[in-house]
A and B are shown apart, each in its own frame.
Chain A
Amino acid sequence: MTERPLDVLIVEDEVLLATELEFLLDEVGCHSVGHAMSSDEAVAMAADLHPDLALVDVHLRDGPTGVDVARRIHDDCGGVALFMTANVKRLPADFAGACGVIGKPYSQHGVRTALSYLTVCLRDGQAPGPPPIGLELAPAYARRWGLNHLHPAA
């Protein structure tokens, strides 16, 4: 791909996870624009840096504020969030405006394929096919990207 790399913001309070994610982003040709550890930091950085995608953990340094972060990134900053959480079942039905979720514990391969897939979705406004294993799309985004409620086999 010769397109501009995806600008990605990492919102994660575990530094080791964030550090490894940065390496991974680099490997798949994404550009890591920063790393926030609390909700205030995350929203400020999203407003400031306008990332294409924000990878958002639900539990941050200031508590389970990730859902709120995703909503504010969507509502106030016009950005797209992707949850990365161990609490997939506790996300709101509308995904708080986020495009989907990668369940923890994720695999390197799972994150790689999800990021490549989302890069195409965000660039073309159209999904190249059903989402890869490990990525669950929010219903609103599945529709927006032409999937009509198509979900990966559970």
Chain B
Amino acid sequence: MQAERAADLLAAAHGVGDPFAAAVRATRTAITIADAKQSDHPIIFVNDAFLSLTGYDRDEVIGRNCRFLQGQDSDPDQVDRLRRGIAGGDEVEVEILNYRKDGSSFWNALHLCPVRDRAGQVAYFVSSQLDVSDRRRAEFELGDTRQRLEAAVEERTRELTQALEQKTALLHEVDHRVKNNLQLISSLLLLQNRRVTDPAVKASLRGMLERVSAIATVHRRLFQSEDVERFDVSAFVRDLVSDMVGGARRDDIQVKLDLQRVDIAASKAAPLALVISELFSNALRHAFPIGRSGEIFVGVTRADGDLRIEIADNGVGTENAAKPGDSGAGFGLTIIQLLCQQLKARAETNSTESGTRVVVHLPVNGAQT
């Protein structure tokens, strides 16, 4: 047969003692040589590595076209690439599923290279084949693992998003209830205040209403900001002063504000609001007896890392304002003392006949703009 003759010729041309032929025969890489000048390019040489890779004997493969290695799951696109490479006389590299004699499959990294004769005609096709099944399996498993991981991450993200939505909804609900209940408490105090006639009781109720309003203003402000953890003291003071001066109906008292933006931790907002409310209320109610006009100054600044709140009036001073039996004012002072202790704040009062000045220093630590 022609193929056997070509094989003989090849063996003769590269006889014993040729180191190149010995290398091809002995290498662990499977190698085949096909005759490009015969029809259907029969295999004319295979090395032992090829035989052990595919499970065939030498006489079962010599004279056949290489395509017997393909099977039902060989990718037709890769086969087509191979065919076009051969037809064009080009070098081709494909990874293709091939089959052994026993029917088992393996991934073949096939490299096909045309060899030309002196006239430039393609005389042989030399192919090397490498079993890359392990790598393909690892890649597949990796892809599979990644897919499962991605699915797990997606699922977890969905759960967390849902949990966050629920939490946000709950926060809104609680916030809503707190605000409504504060409104309810205010209404109760206002309604009772409309009923009672005793001036002392009225004053007590008014004092309590102011305190509840201060806390209510805190809650209205707290959720308006983007950051629910922080509380803008100056914005609060602006609201509080507007409410209290408006409520007092004392057009003869001017208010001057010097407000710097200072944020404090939300957890300190209510106690600080109560302190400011008491101090401002004292000035508003006691510094200026009916008939005496004047000015109240409120300053919010940052000084040496502390929040500094100054409330000063040019009224009659605490000595003159303190009336025996005015338990309301006494209770207010107690509240200020207790809350300053709680806040670790320092309050300095300076009262003369030309007015009262109270300065509160509150350490603000990290919670600042």
Residues of chain A touching chain B, judged by Cβ–Cβ distance below 8 Å, are 14, 16-17, 19-20, 23, 59, 86-90, 103-110, 112-113, 132-134, 154
9 contacts between A and B (CB under 8 A): A16-B187, A23-B191, A23-B194, A103-B224, A104-B180, A105-B182, A105-B217, A109-B243, A133-B238
Q: Once the chains bind, are B176 and A113 in contact (CB under 8 Å)?
A: no
A112 to B219, CA, bound (A): 20
Q: Which residue of B lies closest to A84 (CB)?
A: B183
Find the residue from A16, A17, A107, A108 having the highest chain B CB count within 10 A.
A107
User: Which residues of B sit under 8 angstroms from A90, Cβ to Cβ?
Assistant: 172
B239–chain A nearest beta-carbon distance, Å: 6
| Chain A CB within 8 A of B179 CB | yes
Once A and B bind, how many residue pairs between them come within 8 Å at the CB atom? 77
A17 and B224 contacting across the interface, CB-CB below 8 Å: no
Q: Are A105 and B176 in contact (CB under 8 A)?
A: no
| Distance from B217 Cβ to chain A, minimum over Cβ atoms (Å) | 7
**Do A105 and B243 touch (CB < 8 A)?**
no
Residue contact A20 to B191, C-beta cutoff 8 Å: yes
Interface flags, B179-204, vs A, CB<8A=1, else 0? 11011101110110010000000000
Cβ contact of B176, chosen from A86, A106, A133, cutoff 8 A: A86
B172 contacts A105, C-beta separation under 8 Å: no
Contacts of A132 in B (CB 8 A): 242
Contact across chains for B179 and A104 when beta carbons are under 8 A apart: yes
Whole-angstrom CA separation of A92 from B172 in the bound complex: 16
What residue in chain A is nearest B182 (Cβ atoms)? A105
Given A16-B187, A17-B183, A23-B194, A86:B213 Cβ within 8 A: no
Nearest chain A CB to B307 CB, angstrom units: 21
Chain A's closest residue to B242 (CB) is A133
Q: Complex formed: what's the CA distance from A133 to B257 in Å?
A: 15
| Contacts A19-B191, A20-B191, A154-B224; A104 near B242 (Cβ below 8 A) | no
The answer to whether B180 touches A134 (Cβ under 8 A) is no
Please state if B172 and A107 are interface contacts (CB–CB under 8 Å): no
Pairwise interchain contact B219-A105, C-beta atoms closer than 8 A: yes
The size class of the interface chain B forms with chain A is 20 to 34
Q: What separation, in Å, do the CA atoms of A73 and B190 have in the docked complex?
A: 30
- Flag if A20 contacts B187 (CB, 8 Å): yes
Pick from A14, A59, A105: contact of B220, CB below 8 A: A105
- Chain B residues whose CB sits within 8 angstroms of the CB of A19 once the complex forms: 187, 191
Give 1 or 0 for each of B266-287: 1 = CB within 8 Å of chain A CB. 0000000000000000000000
Q: By the criterion CB–CB under 8 Å, are B172 and A16 in contact?
A: no
B220 to chain A, nearest CB (A): 5
Q: Is B247 an interface residue (CB 8 A)?
A: yes
A14 and B172 form a contact (CB under 8 A): no
Given contacts A16-B191, A86-B183, A133-B238, are A107 and B223 in contact (CB under 8 A)? no
B95 within 8 A of A: no
Q: What residues of chain A lie closer than 8 Å to B188, measured between beta carbons?
A: 16
Assembled-state Cα–Cα distance A104/B184 (Å): 10
The reply to whether B247 and A107 contact each other, CB–CB distance below 8 Å, is: yes
A-B CB proximity, top 8 nearest: A86-B179, A109-B246, A105-B216, A20-B187, A105-B183, A105-B182, A107-B243, A109-B247
A134 and B184 in contact, given A87-B172, A113-B246 (Cβ under 8 angstroms): no
Contact flag A86-B191 (CB < 8 Å), given A105-B219, A109-B243: no
| Smallest Cβ-Cβ distance to A103: which chain B residue | B220
